Amino acid sequence: MREIIFDTETTGLDPKTGDRLVEIGCIEMFNRVTTGRTFHAYFNPGRTMPAEAEAVHGLSDVFLSDKPPFRDRLEELLAFLEDSPLVAHNASFDFGFLDAELALCGHPPVCRTRMIDTVALARVRHPGAKLSLDALCTRYGIDRSHRTLHGALLDAELLAQVYVELRGGRQIGLELVSENIIAVSTSPALQIRERPVRPARPHNASAAELAAHAAFLTTVDTPLWSN
């Protein structure tokens, strides 16, 4: 199954108040294994970057000044996403900004049936625990020492590893095999053995068994079922 792990960086917390998407990073996974295909883009938001947002991701007005607007990369992004499920951490936030940008381009929103929220998965798997991406990386021993600031592609790479663990760990790959791969065993011990087909055994009591049971019941003193 193809899935896209993605993350975004923005100018703030709420697209309804004018905040915009400034970076998106997407990673392709097939059967919970990264394929190496990615989509990464920066966008000029057409507005100034608040200092508090820049402190989180380090994307300044100067850096973004020569980047294209979102609409210029829209078709390329949609071609990469296809109709695959989209995995994000606190996914409603990322979906909200993505939908807002799509709306500005006259494009319909992303169907919510495609949304997979790793916060919701983590809440079920680790109730009461911290659910931030950093906390989950620590829990699963995922190295994030190279992460000094938030970055969409870097965070998506970390989230891809977390997502695999939330779904059961790397052994999940044993459950799914690419249709292009056929596993064949030559060991005689693992070959399918033909066994004779045996008729089903009767499960109804015979007349003799019913009679024996009735005779036994007559020997029981004051049986409970007679009350």
Does 83 count as an annotated binding residue? Answer: no
List the domain range (segments joined by +) for residue 164. 2-174
- According to DSSP, the residues that pair with 193 across neighbouring strands are none
pLDDT given for residue 177 in this prediction: 41
Does 57 count as an annotated binding residue? Answer: yes
Does 54 count as an annotated binding residue? Answer: no
Q: How confident is residue 203, by pLDDT bands cut at 50, 70 and 90?
A: low
192 in a domain, yes or no? Answer: no
Domain count, the chain: 1
Does 7 count as an annotated binding residue? Answer: yes
Residue 10's contacts (CB-CB under 8 Å, 6 or more residues apart) are 19, 20, 21, 22, 53, 97
169 in a domain, yes or no? Answer: yes
Active site residue: 40, 150, 203, 213, which one? 150
218 in a domain, yes or no? Answer: no
Q: Does the active-site annotation cover 150?
A: yes
Q: How far is CA 153 from the centre of its chain?
A: 16
**In a 3-state reduction of DSSP, which class is residue 15?**
helix
Least confident of 61-75, 107-121, 181-195: 181-195
182 in a domain, yes or no? Answer: no
Pick from 215, 205, 191, 167: nearest CA to 3: 167
21 in a domain, yes or no? Answer: yes
* CB-CB contact of 91 with 118 (8 Å): yes
Q: What is the CATH number of the domain that holds 87?
A: 3.30.420.10
- pLDDT digits over 123-175, tens only? 999 999 999 999 999 999 999 888 777 899 999 999 999 999 999 886 444 44
The DSSP symbol for 4 reads E
- pLDDT digits over 73-125, tens only? 999 999 999 999 999 999 999 999 999 999 999 999 999 999 999 999 999 99
Burial class (CB in 10 A: 0-12, 13-18, 19+), 201: exposed
The DSSP symbol for 151 reads -
214 in a domain, yes or no? Answer: no
Residue 163's contacts (CB-CB under 8 Å, 6 or more residues apart) are 5, 29, 32, 87, 118, 121
Does 203 count as an annotated binding residue? Answer: no
